[in-house]
Amino acid sequence: MASSTVWNIIFEQGAEFQAVVTVSDWPATYPALSTASDWRLRVARAGETAFLTANTSNYITLNGAKTVATIKIPSTITNAFPCGNALYDLDILFPSSVVKRLISLGSAQVNIYAGSV
């Protein structure tokens, strides 16, 4: 997934969310992906504090080469998400304090989970 890729995230409030993100194009001028220290997904309503910050210490798992991230948010967490539109950023962090934004101001939406009605 390159920075020009459009990925609209749709969360169902109270349902588990799972997605896989693969980086296939990585500029040679950036640090090697294999040296990344973390991936971070932040989701927030416009102008508000993030209601989700996912990283490798909680909801993101990386493959050995750090080119594939599996994001898994449990239903107990999505249950507290506010319904409506939101924005997200997906960042890759490196030990040298370098942060590369894979996706900036992506579109996210939280819907009421049909199974919870």
Residue spans of the domains in the chain: they are: 9-107
Query: pTM of the full predicted structure?
Result: 0.89
- pLDDT for res 43: 97
Q: Which residues on adjacent β-strands are paired with residue 68?
A: 22
Q: Which fold has domain 9-107?
A: Immunoglobulin-like (2.60.40)
In this prediction, residue 113 has a pLDDT band, given cuts at 50, 70 and 90, of confident
At 3-34, the pLDDT tens digits run 455 689 999 999 999 999 999 889 999 999 99
At 55-110, the pLDDT tens digits run 999 999 999 999 999 999 999 999 999 999 999 999 999 998 999 999 999 999 99
Structure tokens at 36: 């990344």
CB 112 within 8 A of CB 46: no
Range list of H helices, 1-117: 75-78
In this prediction, residue 1 has a pLDDT band, given cuts at 50, 70 and 90, of very low
- pLDDT for res 2: 44
